[in-house]
Structure 1
Amino acid sequence: MPSTLAIITIALAIVYGILYAVLYATQSNSEPRLIPTTIPFLDSAIGIARHKVDYLVSLRRRYGLPIHTLRMPFQRIYVINAPQLIQVVQSKTNLSTFVPTLLDFGMLFSGLNRTSKDTLTKAYGAHGNGFTKSVHRYLASGLDLHAATRTAVEKLTVGIRCGFAGQGQVGLYDALRHQLCLALTGAIYGAENPYDDPAVEASWLEFVPGISHLLYSPFPSLTAHKALKARARVIKAFQNYFETGSHMQAFAMIPEMFNTNANHGLPPSEAAKLEMATSLAMLSSGAISAFWLMFHIASDPDVLRTCREELLNLVVKEADTPSGKAKVVDLSNIRTQCSTLTAMWHETLRYHSTVINIKKVQHNITLVSEYSLKKGAIVMIPGTAVHHDTNIWGPSASEFDHKRFFTPAGRKNLSNTAAYRPFGAGTTMCPGRHFSTSVVLSLVAMVLLQFDIEPVQGQWQMPTKKNADMWNAMPKPDQDVPVNVRRRVDKDASDTEWKLVWGATTGEKE
């Protein structure tokens, strides 16, 4: 009589055989090549859970396929690596075929009830959401963008003066994150910004680590219990924000979003939950990007010196102050007059960004007359695959080198969203990218001009980022970098008072 172990082994072998047969029986020869699997339907899920974006990059390096298929339980995923295929998917002719899943993503972690989800799905369907449309309208370009940026820079000026001076030892990431949080949210939510309350900011920080559980865990109420309680506190703050009419004094985008959703039938209590998505858009990647940019500049003495020299060229005049004279620096000219700082920004995004564009296939389609894609499948475009592609960026693609953007080829790649896509591309391109970029560069400029930053350990050591969340476009460092912050004492900055502005003010250069 066979033993229990033998019976279990035989049963597992039968199940394995069945799954393997089902896998290949349901995979068409005309679909993109199926990546070899050891455990049918589970290999990819395990690989992504363990290695996140690195798993997708490793598959590209191992197989070198322009597009391939991953199979998970009840889901097929097409991973696109080739720039020419990326351009086809992004083309205007395919907008109704490959539809972004931003609305679904936002509803998954915001806590909306079933009725609200149905309301938003019916209202926006495959055409995006009110958040994206409103942000594009107000922050893509023009006077609204200028006004929001100026307000954020004003808040940064005060925050940096009070928040960095005299602090001594701080965590570099945490210090930058805090200043950017108050500046970005203050510019958007106005005078009654909920994040001005330290308890709300702390609750947000407690909530963020639970997002992965809300997206992937089968039991988020157990695995993300603390995060859910923190989310409830943030939502309550926004409920009070809307109930008191504070949103009417905010940046115009906020009341428009609120009114649009109200017209679709979304009650104020549920609208408050949607601000979790707005907050995530503002706070998820900007501070991390600022950290990596500051790290790479501060850890390279030559680059640090050059960036400071460039920033001195932004001085437009001297202004009288109660204590004497101040040098007025117009930060709105950073991208046109600070070539090294700007190149460092682009390389920071290229080198570190792990953005993944995700779209859903709306109907069966044959891509470039070669690859059959099934309705309901997910298309993934991992930015890292193209950002580290030697065919695009040369043999040093996996190295950090800002000088690549001083070459004609490097500058050309900046305008090619199949080669450079830290903000995504097409209809899913980050609508707040100009706002975020301007504020991050202003923050870094303010710190470089006024402070010396040195690592507590005596030398700069790049932190790892193995535990970074896959949903985030920029990988958070696994550890903060302790630094000593001191007022600058060199000949260019000693006893210098700075007035840092964005754009023209009375008597100043535009």
Structure 2
Amino acid sequence: MAFQALLMVPLGLAVLCLFTFMKTNLLYQIAIRDKSVEKEPPPLPHTIPWLGHVFGFLTPVPGQFFSRVLRWYSRDHGGASMKLAGRNVRLIFSTTAVQALLKAKTDVANSDTMIKDMICKGLGLRPFDYAKYVGHGRHLEHEVSSKYLLRPTGADVLLRQFARVMKGALMEESARLAVAGDNKMGETVHLYEWLRSFMFKASTTSFFGERIFIEYPGLTRDFWQFEPLFLDLLFGVPKFVNAVPHTMQQRVVKGMTSWIEANDRAMGDKVPSPDVPDEDWEPRWGSRLVRAREALFQSLDISAGGRASFELGLLFALNANAVPATGWMLMHILDPNKPDILPRIMAEIQEAVDVGDANGKLDFDLPTLLNQPLLQSLFQEVLRFYVDVLITRGVYHDMKLPTEDSQTTLLLKKGTIAMAPSYVNHYDPKGYQGAPVDEFDPERFLVPADQEGPGYHNSDEAPYQPHEKSPKAGKKPYAFSPGAAGAKMIPFGGGRTMCPGRVFAKREVFSSLALVLLNFEFAPLAEPGSYKIPGHVASYSGSGIIGHGGDVKVQIKRRGAAGKPNVV
């Protein structure tokens, strides 16, 4: 009898799963035949009660879940409904509906729950510190970011410090290669690993000062071990299932806390100020942005550990996206299978060289660099091909979203979660010209010069105005234009939660590429087929810029007369 009773358990579960599939499949068939003008997105059938699609959604292969959905589920529906661990989630496919969702009033739909999860689960902020921050503190933090980071003038100030540290690091590398001895072949390095070390040091120092590496010497190692584990924490992977993400989070927050406490001790009773000293950068706290943030967090009486969690969030935003994006761009620029890309990129960079800004602190004209057509097309294609974000909103009142089909409106009910995955639109085969969407095409966003459209500018940036000293470039046969595809692109999120570092990020990526390519020559290894751009690293949906699933080996040499860098 006991054995029979034991057999009834799996049999009962199997019957329950079968019933669940039949029921949800019937609801799906009814929904797709509904000709109502206003209707909820049709439900995706699932088998496991309550958990629903959670296992498929958490498959650590970027885009795989949405790709499977779209193989049999038409984009024309505009959206889909699914169940994630008891939560009613509405996937939004329609570009028009996504844009309407981003413009929705915050009392109708907002991302507060997701932001709380990111800060508390992902970054380790304690509930008592979050209670001090939520509301007025969050609004004040946004004002600080707008003043010192989001505006182009603030981003340019930070970029000068970034370029200063990056140049210093590259000069040290050039000297190292000189000591090692120049030869025709050069030295073999792993390209992304080589690049990442310089960029992380430069971006972190430019924002946080140089003392952070003294007080927390293991920062670089710990950060890159923690970075791929962040989503495990965000999606709530229990500690008994995988303790590593939790351990690494505690280690990094503890290290950041030691830096903050050391700075507090050095300052005594003084509160950091963006205007004291009256310099854009100082070695202890770094930039005006971080000094302003620290002054705000102290005014809110947030603990040192809480401040560390917030600054870890800024450190994450700085490095977890811009650094791998630069790595992807550099890999595709050097790809020997497309040998014409590197000389054309070098020509665009050279057009911006030896101009300098009004203070003589930059060795290239930034507006010229930022608006080169092939560089912009390559950057846009990286954002399309390698960005995986989930724009998420909690729905607090029933709302209606228009779609491209004027006869159909998506109805989202109160209490549901709206989710717009970038993968759906970034890989829409009808949305982009050029090569198939599952192939990387650096020229995808180039058009003949006489068809030039609006350039890809963040809404916060002023229209392009060439520097008065910019060299006059020859007329190119092509121009950059995202065209209609631009509306489908959501690489930085949207609405109030759009990435505040997006203005600086583009400057950081373009400047890093220019400095690296002006100072060093790269060549693939001699063996045929040795240069293979890696695929995506295993990661959950919503990881931002998808990491490298490997690296490439290249030979590197110093560029310039007598081995001297071109930009110093």
Q: CA deviation at 1:142?
A: 4.0
Match of residue 109 from structure 2:
98
* Cα deviation digits, residues 229-248 of structure 1 (max 9, x gap): 42244233333254146755
Match of residue 173 from structure 1:
192
Q: CA deviation at 1:148?
A: 0.7
Match of residue 270 from structure 1:
306
Deviates more, 1:448-457 or 1:287-296: 448-457
Q: CA deviation at 1:253?
A: 1.7
> Would you say 1:37 and 2:46 are equivalent positions?
yes
* Cα deviation digits, residues 178-235 of structure 1 (max 9, x gap): 2111111211113433478541222222322332332234423752254144224423
CA 1:17 to 1:460, structure 2 compared with 1: closer, same or farther past 3 Å? closer
Q: CA deviation at 1:297?
A: 0.2
Match of residue 340 from structure 2:
302
> Would you say 1:10 and 2:2 are equivalent positions?
no
Q: Which structure dedicates a bigger proportion of its chain to helix?
A: 1
* Cα deviation digits, residues 33-56 of structure 1 (max 9, x gap): 111223344452111222343212
> Would you say 1:316 and 2:354 are equivalent positions?
yes
Match of residue 399 from structure 1:
439
- Mapped partners of 1:103, 1:40: distance in 2: 27
Deviates more, 1:452-461 or 1:137-146: 452-461
Q: CA RMSD in A?
A: 3.2
Q: CA deviation at 1:293?
A: 0.1
Aligned with residue 418 of structure 2, among 369, 376, 379? 379
Aligned 8 A contact 2:27 2:43 in 1: no
- Mapped partners of 1:380, 1:237: distance in 2: 37
- Mapped partners of 2:517, 2:232: distance in 1: 38
**Paired AA for residue 118 in structure 1:** A
Aligned with residue 99 of structure 2, among 77, 87, 96? 87
CA 1:495 to 1:312, structure 2 compared with 1: closer, same or farther past 3 Å? farther
Residue aligned with 1:392, SS: coil
Residue aligned with 2:444, SS: helix
Residue aligned with 1:376, SS: coil
**Paired AA for residue 97 in structure 1:** V
- Mapped partners of 1:60, 1:17: distance in 2: 23
* Cα deviation digits, residues 298-349 of structure 1 (max 9, x gap): 003211011112222223369xxxxxxxxx8415144356322222122222
**Paired AA for residue 108 in structure 2:** T
Aligned with residue 90 of structure 2, among 78, 81, 84? 78
User: Mapping of 1:300-449 within 5 angstroms?
Assistant: 300-316=338-354, 329-335=363-369, 338-368=372-402, 370-394=409-433, 396-407=436-447, 408=452, 411-413=480-482, 418-449=487-518
Match of residue 506 from structure 1:
none
TM-score (norm 1): 0.85
Aligned 8 A contact 1:138 1:253 in 2: yes
**Paired AA for residue 539 in structure 2:** A
Aligned 8 A contact 2:349 2:369 in 1: no
Q: CA deviation at 1:4?
A: 4.6
Aligned with residue 216 of structure 1, among 235, 246, 249? 235
Aligned 8 A contact 1:80 1:379 in 2: yes
**Paired AA for residue 239 in structure 1:** I
CA 1:412 to 1:419, structure 2 compared with 1: closer, same or farther past 3 Å? farther
Aligned 8 A contact 1:131 1:278 in 2: no
- Mapped partners of 1:366, 1:450: distance in 2: 54
Deviates more, 1:369-378 or 1:381-390: 369-378
Match of residue 204 from structure 2:
185
Match of residue 323 from structure 2:
287
Match of residue 34 from structure 2:
none
> Would you say 1:118 and 2:131 are equivalent positions?
yes
Aligned 8 A contact 2:253 2:305 in 1: no
* Cα deviation digits, residues 55-112 of structure 1 (max 9, x gap): 1233234312321111122211111111111111122x43432212334312222222
Aligned 8 A contact 2:207 2:290 in 1: yes
TM-score (norm 2): 0.77
- Mapped partners of 1:418, 1:59: distance in 2: 22
CA 1:406 to 1:213, structure 2 compared with 1: closer, same or farther past 3 Å? closer
**Paired AA for residue 318 in structure 2:** M
**Paired AA for residue 184 in structure 1:** S
Aligned 8 A contact 1:97 1:363 in 2: yes
Match of residue 252 from structure 2:
231
CA 1:486 to 1:86, structure 2 compared with 1: closer, same or farther past 3 Å? same
Aligned 8 A contact 1:455 1:483 in 2: yes
Aligned 8 A contact 2:431 2:485 in 1: no
Match of residue 466 from structure 2:
none
- Mapped partners of 1:195, 1:284: distance in 2: 22
Residue aligned with 1:495, SS: helix
Residue aligned with 2:482, SS: helix
Q: CA deviation at 1:292?
A: 0.4
Match of residue 479 from structure 1:
550
CA 1:420 to 1:432, structure 2 compared with 1: closer, same or farther past 3 Å? same
Q: CA deviation at 1:20?
A: 5.7
For structure 2, the 5+ residue unaligned runs are 32-38, 181-186, 274-281, 357-361, 403-407, 456-479
* Cα deviation digits, residues 134-174 of structure 1 (max 9, x gap): 22222222432221111101111111121365283322222
**Paired AA for residue 160 in structure 2:** R
CA 1:207 to 1:97, structure 2 compared with 1: closer, same or farther past 3 Å? same
- Mapped partners of 1:271, 1:45: distance in 2: 33
Identity rate, percent: 20
- Mapped partners of 2:531, 2:43: distance in 1: 43
- Mapped partners of 2:19, 2:90: distance in 1: 23
- Mapped partners of 1:55, 1:464: distance in 2: 17
**Paired AA for residue 330 in structure 1:** F
Q: CA deviation at 1:461?
A: 0.5
Match of residue 155 from structure 1:
165
CA 1:499 to 1:130, structure 2 compared with 1: closer, same or farther past 3 Å? farther
CA 1:102 to 1:413, structure 2 compared with 1: closer, same or farther past 3 Å? farther
